[in-house]
Structure 1
Amino acid sequence: MSGAIFSAGLLMSHLVAADARFVSEDIFELEYASDVQISADGSHIVYVRSSHDVMSDGNRHSLWMHELSSDKHYPLHADQYNYTKPVWSANGKKLAFVSNRDGRNQLYVHWLEQDKNAVITQVEKGISDIRWSPDGNWLAFTMEVPAGPSEYAKSVYTPKKPKGAKWAESTKIIEKARYQADGKGILEPAYRHVFVVPTTGGSARQLTEGDYQHRGPLAWVPDSSALVFSANRNKDWEYQGSEANLYQISLHSAEMTELTDAPGTEYNPQFSPDGKQLAYLTRTDARVPYQNTEVALMNTSNRKTRQISEKLDRSVSDYGWQNSNNIVIQYDDRGKRKLAKMNLDGKLQVLTDNLSGATLGRPYISGSFSVADNGAIAYTHGSSQRPADLGYWFKGKARQLTDLNQDLLGHKQLGQVHEIEYASSFDGEKIQGWYITPPDFDPEKTYPLLLEIHGGPHLAYGPHFSAELQRYAAEGYVVFYANHRGSSSYGERFAMLLDGKYSSREDFADHNSGVDAMIAKGFIDDRNLFIAGGSAGGIASAYAIGLTDRFNAAAITKPVINWVSKVLTADSYLGQIRNQFPGMPWDNLEHYWQRSPLSLVGNVTTPSLIMTGEADRRTPMSESEQFYQALKLRKVDAALVRVPGAPHGIAGKPSRMIAKIEHTLAWFKRYRKD
């Protein structure tokens, strides 16, 4: 009898422990906040609350409201439809948003006091860059307008099909330089234009004309008489991806004025509250893979311009006026996203560094914010243990307003994230990294090590929540990741260390030295080392196993294997060849080959799992097939996993993220040594 009770107790203890692990099914239950928007008077915050639908394997987006005076938190629109892109009117009494509740995405307005909604548009294409006019009478937005058939397409004779006949699908004629996009496939020729529509509803009116791409974010002039936007209206714009100027267009006459003409890109215009300054973001047209984005100011009376963020040596990704003398900027620094107040002379004061958590898969830097007229800031607040919640900063104090995942993660034992810094064996460059220890970690024991390499390569990981890496930690791996040379958030010099060397022995040394630094800590089983990465991380992983055989197995996701074939088949060729390579591949074959993992495949002995989406147009399936077939010709153990329908963002659906994780775990399990 006592033995039976004892055995039952052990069983219950085991079940509790198993339930405390983070498992793949938990991914369906995760939620996060994004697109946080605080009203102009600072009284309300609306945000997009994103979750997953286990039945449709899709994402759900609802609108939630937080009332700051009462601390009430409630759904504004949360049902079977999706609600995105919330934008407050200047008086805070109305809210515009996009929803598919009428069958396709349209622009809606919600009247808060009356608790009423109205659909404002009846358009065929997707709406972006929504902005209220200051007087509240107009909503501006951008939308694509189909170009229609070309002269050549119209000249092709097509015989009339007999009634009831079943012919092959019609041909598709491609004549544009940019004709495909990952996640969209072959593009219908179209031009993005600026539209306005009355806030009480009516016909949307197209303001801009011509065969050009007019882009937001948009800015209304203070008296609501005109709009400012970014565009490249040169004849050769398709080949000038680093060029765009600011233009102003009259609401009533459609008269257009060019405001900037500096070489490079000017975008995201915002007028100061007093209307005396027009701020915007800017980059030069230098042929480089990375450069900082700066904040510039234009005096609206004489159009004189100056940059104010040059001393920061970080890229400003977004900003907002706090008052006419200060701007709040968002920038990435050493793996974290920070908010800081900057005056018009560039003097900086950091406000918070916990913007995070707006991505679920891997620990990329993420997050967004908005500013009220009283200086209050709403933002996405995240950590290594939680995806994004709603954060609030006011008068020097920051607080978290929601706890969206406490019901799921409050009883889970997650892996703990620790920072590490070490010197690269290549040249002594200091590298910052992090490692996640498994739940119930015991430093007296040893654990297998999983090296995970980020994409980009000019992106960055940090101490942020990651469903994928937490799953690996839950299965007993110490997961190590680092911001190798080329990573963003460390300034231009560090990012440019990878210029012309992507991939190379230099970034391999950064990762390999990190593995050595982890082994030196004493709790890594050096008989069980594994390597994984996606996109640029997939390239680095494939390149690494051509230089070393120290890893038991590799999981290579959506890689580039042959740069010559990649740049001549992928959707990114126009900018990538210009900014990343010394010239065209047929003129610089040796350079392209030296950067290609395929050049080292004759050295590879590491068992390799290769996984790519069948609809990937950024690193096409043909890249993975080249590596798989090369490994098979060499009789190296390899598996090719094709993900039907998946674009480059292979983990965009919950089931696909789970598939990516579980295929990797199963592959590594085959090669773990007892």
Structure 2
Amino acid sequence: MSKDKRALIAEDLTNISVHSDPQLTPDGSAYAYVSTKATENNDYESNIFFQSLHESDAKQWTFGEKNSNPRFSPDGKKVVFQSSRSGLPQLWLLSTEGGEAKQLTTFKNGATSPEWSKDGKHIIFSASLDQDDDVENQKEHSNEERQKEKEEKSKQPLVVNRLKYKSDAQGFHDNKRSQIVVLDVENESFTQLTTADAHHNVEDISPDGNLVLFTANLNVEADYELINDLFTINLTTKEVVKLTDGEGAYNSACFSPSGNKIASFGHEYAYMGATLNELYVFDVATSERYCLSKEWDMQLGDSMIGDTRLGQSTTGPVWSKDENKLFFIGTDFGATGLYQVTLNSELEVLYKDENHVFGFSYNEVNDSFVLGISTPTNPCNFYQLKQDSELVRLTNSNTDFLSEVSLSEPETLTITAEDGWEIQGWLLRPYGFEEGKKHPFVLEIHGGPHAMYGQTFFHEMQLLAAKGYVVLYTNPRGSHGYGQEFVDACRTDYGGKDYTDLMRAVDYVLDAYDFIDEDRLGVTGGSYGGFMTNWIVGHTNRFKAAVTQRSISNWLSFYGVSDIGFFFTKWEHGLNLLDDPTKLWEISPLKYAENVETPLLILHGEQDFRCPVEQGEQLFITLKHLRKEVEFVRFPGSNHELSRSGKPEMRIERLNHICRWFEEYL
């Protein structure tokens, strides 16, 4: 960490551009991507950039608002994309040779996720529709009309008759459903493909243009299930064929180049929410499937946690041009990489290093890839991965930010748990680090719990290091990246060996590094990490300050108030509320409030439906009533994603409160 540069500050969140969704052109000579950045009006702006693989600079194609999901036409002459420039997300068409974009949709509730047919004649997309909506006569409301509709809705009571009536991402649900619509590009006409009372997600369209692949739960008991089946629907006859058996969850599905096969991630909940993804291949003619990954012990897809990863990117599976291989991102030992597998399950690493591959695009013309990569000291860049495994950097992003700010390189640790299991972790040295000087310390605990810290840029970690703290972050049992047994090991044992893993990690660094002041230890975490922070302060007084974020304090009430409580409680603890409320109380941090001597700051979003604000409120009132040292900060208009995609001003406020609390008590 260089002293020649300034220390990072919370406000630097607004100085970072975050890239996502690389999309190679059909001829493989160039690619488009999305870049997102916070704006002065306390929001985010996403724009589409285009770069030739033979040029060093990218050209900005869109300006202002939120533009995303660029998809090239098969001939490479046009790109369809999603933009909110008219007020709602709608589809727009742009010539790759330049000129003004043309608006394609004016749907009342917007249009999203466009995909081209292979002949370029149709665009398939998703639209939120009521049962009686006519897709040929959709009219986008003005901002004034939308505001009036919102005000009228706010005057009406909410009638609830579904179990899944709310979600953290959407708030309270309405009766609209995500349906699949086809746009005839030449005739500018629309056809609604799906009509069932369910959300339908477009996955792909067959090479011959006859079949659309989608996921949905069309079961009668859908309100009580977390099933996501694979289906095809014929564009002409609208015949729906179910490819899976209603026992699992499937996603990221795609047709092979011939259209004879389909590849998909998925699993059948063998370990509930801790189940590793599998890679399946389906025969389109017979609907038979086989699993390519049954002998592996690795999470497929990207399970890395960060706080600056805005925007979606492809993580696979993607077919090779000869249809003999599939490409995908895998999560393994604190990093993610690009992998290849043959149809005989022969696995090969195409690229993996001590970093975070967050997305990729494959081009069959020259068998090359564009990779999106983040490192602990660089938020993002794109690289070309050539056939000979040469990695060529394409972008030089965030140069002004990186030239000014000093960042800490993590030291990778291997900690032996009480029972001999190996726990991976990382340590950041503080800004202005001096040998022989004692520095305060903060332990960070991730959420999930089935997620993974690792080799990616994490603004919050770097900020704490910039403020003078030694920062430790680890992947205790329950984390992804270390196989099925490891990720499943915390279920029915919250506060057990996951807790001792964390305490052993703290013991390890105190023994290994003489520059940590053992009398100035802090701890923080969010979601499951918030639960664990609450658990820690109720079971040990070794920490002198703690910050719990979007936390769980009471499993009894969590069951009924969280958007996932009615199934998550069973998944993670093996029982529901009425099965054994005494046991749920035993593992609730609230029970141990009398033991808390650590000054505790509670941070919570008012609109958090995942871990509702009442969880923080119960803990605050109890501790305050007991005259403990506690403070409660409630963030207006913020949901569970506050730290990652919340309003920039609220994110900065949150970080400053964390730093304030640790500065006061450490």
Same fold flag (TM > 0.5): yes
Match of 1:368 among 359, 366, 376: 359
User: Match of 2:653?
Assistant: 659
CA distance in 2, matches of 1:341, 1:296: 14
SS of residue in 2 equivalent to 1:246:
strand
Asked if 1:63 is matched to 2:45, the reply is: no
Asked if 1:302 is matched to 2:300, the reply is: no
User: Match of 1:509?
Assistant: 500
Asked if 1:228 is matched to 2:226, the reply is: no
Match of 2:622 among 630, 643, 661: 630
CA distance in 1, matches of 2:49, 2:411: 33
CA distance in 2, matches of 1:518, 1:98: 48
Q: CA deviation at 1:287?
A: 5.8
Q: CA deviation at 1:334?
A: 0.9
CA distance in 1, matches of 2:529, 2:325: 38
SS of residue in 1 equivalent to 2:543:
coil
SS of residue in 2 equivalent to 1:416:
coil
Q: CA deviation at 1:116?
A: 4.6
SS of residue in 2 equivalent to 1:645:
coil
Q: CA deviation at 1:607?
A: 0.7
User: Match of 2:393?
Assistant: 400
Q: CA deviation at 1:302?
A: 3.4
Equivalent residues of 2:125, 2:180 under 8 A apart: yes
User: Match of 2:306?
Assistant: none
Asked if 1:260 is matched to 2:244, the reply is: yes
Report % sequence identity: 28
Equivalent residues of 1:455, 1:534 under 8 A apart: yes
Q: CA deviation at 1:476?
A: 0.6
Larger Rg: 1
Asked if 1:334 is matched to 2:333, the reply is: yes
CA distance in 1, matches of 2:187, 2:410: 50
5 Å matches for 1:478-557?
Answer: 478-502=470-494, 504-520=495-511, 521-557=513-549
Alignment CA distance shift 1:128-1:355 (3 Å)? farther
Match of 1:142 among 118, 126, 135: 126
Alignment CA distance shift 1:555-1:18 (3 Å)? farther
SS of residue in 2 equivalent to 1:387:
strand
SS of residue in 2 equivalent to 1:421:
strand
SS of residue in 1 equivalent to 2:236:
coil
Q: CA deviation at 1:262?
A: 5.9
* AA partner of residue 529 (structure 2): G
Asked if 1:670 is matched to 2:664, the reply is: yes
CA distance in 1, matches of 2:169, 2:280: 33
Q: CA deviation at 1:30?
A: 0.8
Alignment CA distance shift 1:523-1:48 (3 Å)? same
SS of residue in 1 equivalent to 2:561:
coil
CA distance in 2, matches of 1:173, 1:88: 43
Equivalent residues of 1:36, 1:48 under 8 A apart: yes
* AA partner of residue 661 (structure 2): W
User: Match of 1:128?
Assistant: 112
CA distance in 2, matches of 1:513, 1:205: 60
* AA partner of residue 167 (structure 2): A
User: Match of 1:346?
Assistant: 345
User: Match of 2:414?
Assistant: 421
CA distance in 2, matches of 1:441, 1:137: 61
Match of 2:598 among 591, 595, 606: 606
CA distance in 2, matches of 1:167, 1:52: 30
CA distance in 1, matches of 2:88, 2:292: 42
SS of residue in 2 equivalent to 1:388:
strand
Q: CA deviation at 1:627?
A: 0.6
CA distance in 1, matches of 2:132, 2:608: 26
User: Match of 2:320?
Assistant: 322
Asked if 1:205 is matched to 2:188, the reply is: no
5 Å matches for 1:43-54?
Answer: 43-53=29-39
Equivalent residues of 1:65, 1:74 under 8 A apart: yes
Alignment CA distance shift 1:560-1:260 (3 Å)? same
Asked if 1:245 is matched to 2:229, the reply is: yes
After superposition, give the CA deviation of every residue in 1:355-378 in whole Å (9 maximum; x if it has no partner).
Answer: 96xxxxxxxx67111211132111
Greater alpha carbon shift after TM alignment, 412-421 vs 578-587: 578-587
CA distance in 1, matches of 2:166, 2:225: 17
Q: CA deviation at 1:245?
A: 2.3
Alignment CA distance shift 1:494-1:285 (3 Å)? closer
SS of residue in 2 equivalent to 1:648:
coil
* Residue-pair matches, total: 627
After superposition, give the CA deviation of every residue in 1:309-366 in whole Å (9 maximum; x if it has no partner).
Answer: 222211222321122111111111011111111111111111223596xxxxxxxx67
Equivalent residues of 2:263, 2:317 under 8 A apart: no
CA distance in 1, matches of 2:533, 2:343: 44
Q: CA deviation at 1:407?
A: 1.0
CA distance in 2, matches of 1:282, 1:194: 21
Runs of 4+ in 1 over 4 A off after TM superposition: 16-19
CA distance in 2, matches of 1:524, 1:346: 47
User: Match of 1:110?
Assistant: 94
CA distance in 1, matches of 2:392, 2:110: 35
Equivalent residues of 1:354, 1:382 under 8 A apart: no
User: Match of 1:96?
Assistant: 80
CA distance in 1, matches of 2:154, 2:384: 58
CA distance in 1, matches of 2:269, 2:371: 32
Equivalent residues of 1:355, 1:366 under 8 A apart: no
After superposition, give the CA deviation of every residue in 1:178-233 in whole Å (9 maximum; x if it has no partner).
Answer: 111114221112222111112346243211122122223x2211211121111221
* AA partner of residue 550 (structure 2): K
RMSD (CA atoms): 2.1
User: Match of 1:175?
Assistant: 161
SS of residue in 1 equivalent to 2:272:
coil
Q: CA deviation at 1:48?
A: 0.4
Match of 2:573 among 566, 570, 581: 581
User: Match of 1:215?
Assistant: 201
* AA partner of residue 297 (structure 1): V
CA distance in 1, matches of 2:194, 2:89: 22
User: Match of 1:474?
Assistant: 466
SS of residue in 2 equivalent to 1:51:
strand
Match of 2:609 among 617, 622, 625: 617
CA distance in 1, matches of 2:621, 2:106: 50
CA distance in 2, matches of 1:578, 1:259: 28
Q: CA deviation at 1:594?
A: 2.2
Greater alpha carbon shift after TM alignment, 574-583 vs 445-454: 574-583
Alignment CA distance shift 1:65-1:114 (3 Å)? closer
Instruction: State the TM-score, normalizing by the size of structure 2.
Output: 0.90
* AA partner of residue 300 (structure 1): V
Alignment CA distance shift 1:120-1:52 (3 Å)? same
Equivalent residues of 1:355, 1:368 under 8 A apart: no
